[in-house]
Chain A
Amino acid sequence: MNDLLRKLRPERLRELVLLLLILVVLIFFSTVIEHYLNARLFNRVSTSVAILGVLAIAQTLVILTRNIDLSVGSMVGFTAYFVGQQLSQNNEITPLVAILMAIGVGALMGSFNGFLVAVCRIPAIIVTLGTMALYRTLLVEYSDAQTVLTVNLPKWLLDLPRVNVLSYERLNLRLMVAGMFIVVILFQLILRNTSFGRKLYAVGSNPEAARNSGFPNQKIIFTAFVLCGSLAGLTGFMFLARFGNITVVAGSGLELKSVAAVVVGGVNIFGGSGSIFGAVLGAVMIDLLENSLIRWLQISEFWRDAMLGILILTSVATDSVIMKRFRNYRLKKLSQTNS
């Protein structure tokens, strides 16, 4: 019993519970919606998770350091538009260059956020609330209120969302989803096994202790914002590939969804703890709910935002109430066996 308790770190338990909840949601909807559990659901949800998942990872990096990035939606919109326009004007651009371009543009915007937060010491919530508006304005100015249209985009891009890496009967592992998995594994490795990753946690866990250990806190926070921007840029590219038509409001609302995914995924909003895996599970949960609610005829699809709000609240509440209890219980049990 105690051995199990020792292995069951609170963070692990949190992820297990979420996984269980996802199952519950699946079972619930499969009883109320006909033909719910099928390959189409998997394909559709996995594709939209690919987008939200990468963005949730971006958000996690920043939130781990006790900051927040509300400008990710605008960054996604801007990169999607920018890359889309470049591609419409010049069909010669190769996929790799397009992706790098997206990441680069995102990194640039992220570094502006990072500069204001880390160097100018402005609270992240203010900076990114501001740049959320600024980047959106930038997009409006740049686009001159024009829309990127699918017809002008190169064929490889439009085909991208339907490219499969693996197929089993009608279940498809789409390239974009595989791409997300690569990002997940990469960042899980970085956070868990590199000194940079550990510093990210350290800075969020106790900034003062981090400073005392000689960590360049501000540099680390800056890097987190740049990485967040880069991943938002990558998301922008995926967004472009998936939707094709990009308007000036593209990606708005994603900032809240990404924060929601992270919070639902058990990342502490005050920094220092949480995992990439959890954040992605949070994204799965949110996309699953959205996709299911749309198909649930008994209820207006307009309910989904209201539900999303409640979901965020309850998951934070369980964190602060139930998980705290479990943490204390575990510590008590373990210290009893120690002494």
Chain B
Amino acid sequence: MSIILNKLKSWEGFLSLILISVILVNSLNSESFLSIDNQINLFELSVEKIIVALIMVFIILNAEIDLSVASMMGLSACALGWLVDSGTPMILALGLCLLIGAMGGAFNGYWITVFKLPSLVVTLAMLIGFRGLARVLVEDRSIRVFPSWFEALGQQPILGPIPLSIIIFLGLLILAVIILKFTGFGRYVYFIGINQNVALYSGINVSRVKMILFTASGIISALAGILFAARLGAVRGDMGLSFELDIITMVLLGGVSIFGGSGSINGVILSILIVLYLRNGMSLSNITGHIQTGVIGGLLILSVLIPNLQKMIHDFLNQRRKQLQ
């Protein structure tokens, strides 16, 4: 019993409680919530975000942030549309998009590691910059030029009822867990997040780790952009606009500290489920997207407010106890 209680006191336990209540409320509200179709559908609708959330875990653990991910999604999707529109073969275009992602991410990493600029500023600039490039490519058009096999890949299930995008997500999830928990690279990520200088003075190539992370972030965001384009079958300049809010919320709500060095992927999985189920539940109850965004914003604040309040109350009670003695 006490083990369960302790578990509940932890952040993961708390998230599990919330998740269970969200599931309960949703399934009471709507019969279709628990159906396999709806489950797959709700994952599919947000699969781009949760894929990027996986790499964001690494970046925030490393005490950095990447605000440019959503713009990179937009850029890669638009680049895909533009390339195909101007006659590039599909496969080559896909490769080029991933390359754009790698280059964009490395560009971020370059300023962060070579000039030692804060990632907040660099990626904020590129949030504007990548989006700007996306708009340069497609201006205010909507490009719908993809071959049917590509659209089918984005929209039809390939393994039982499961579409490719979700399989990719699951594959990346397993990879992320393994890297973070069991590899030397994962441990470097934690150490750098706790104290970058300790890592530096231990002869760890801090810049290389950061460079890898930001480049990976670019590639994965570009991949997410491609999947997004396949799912929608068309691209527009504002694709993925302000997705970074959802993505960062998922990571922070999952208990990853914004100051780096602590948190795990388990918590993030729980928080992904919470965010997706909440959005799905709201959609099923006909609540509009704008309000959903507001709820996510509130959730982001709560995810840090609650542990803070908990600590304040704890401290306050301790002080009271001391005074009483």
Task: Write the residues of chain A forming the contact surface with B, with a CB cutoff of 8 angstroms.
Answer: 68, 116, 120-123, 125-127, 129-134, 136-138, 140-141, 248, 256, 259-260, 263, 269-270, 300, 302-310, 312-313, 316-317, 320-321
Contacts and interface: CB of A to CB of B under 8 A. Distances in A.
Contacts of A306: 128-129, 132-133, 136
A187 B296 CA distance: 35
A310 B129 CA distance: 7
Interface stretch (B30-38, B226-234, B286-294): B286-294
- Binding site secondary structure of chain B: helix
B118 A312 contact: no
Contacts of B130: 309
Interface in B238-262: 242, 245, 248-249, 252, 258
Contacts of A134: 294, 297-298, 301
B: contact size bracket? 35 or more
Given A116-B301, A303-B136, A317-B111, A308 B129 contact: yes
A309 B129 CA distance: 4
A256 B297 contact: no
B305 interface: yes
Given A140-B288, A300-B136, A309 B248 contact: no
Contacts of B291: 137, 140-141
Nearest to B127: A256
Contacts of A68: 120
Contacts of B308: 120-122
Given A129-B248, A140-B288, A248-B290, A312 B297 contact: no
Q: Is the interface of A mostly helix, strand, loop or mixed?
A: helix
Contact of A310 (B116, B120, B125, B298): B125
B128 A308 contact: yes
Given A302-B139, A305-B129, 5 more contacts: A68-B120, A122-B301, A133-B297, A136-B290, A137-B290
Contact of B117 (A116, A136, A317): A317
Given A256-B128, A260-B128, A130 B118 contact: no
B121 A269 contact: yes
Given A260-B128, A312-B121, A321 B294 contact: no
Contact of A302 (B117, B118, B135, B252): B135
A140 B290 contact: yes
Contacts of A263: 121
Among A138, A270, A304, A316, the one with the most B-chain Cβ atoms within 10 Å of its Cβ is: A316
Given A120-B309, A259-B124, A320-B117, A125 B258 contact: yes
Given A120-B305, A260-B128, A137 B139 contact: no
A145 to B, nearest CB: 9
For the complex of A and B, 10 pairs with smallest distance between CB atoms: A309-B129, A137-B294, A305-B132, A133-B297, A306-B132, A312-B125, A130-B301, A130-B297, A140-B290, A130-B300
B132 A307 contact: yes
A208 B267 CA distance: 33
A156 B130 CA distance: 41
A66 B210 CA distance: 24
Nearest to A310: B129
A313 B125 contact: yes
B20 interface: no
Contacts of A116: 301, 305
B304 A126 contact: yes
B134 to A, nearest CB: 9
B118 A269 contact: yes
20 contacts: A122-B301, A122-B304, A123-B258, A123-B304, A125-B258, A127-B301, A129-B248, A133-B242, A134-B297, A136-B290, A136-B293, A140-B290, A256-B128, A305-B132, A306-B128, A306-B136, A310-B129, A312-B125, A320-B116, A320-B117
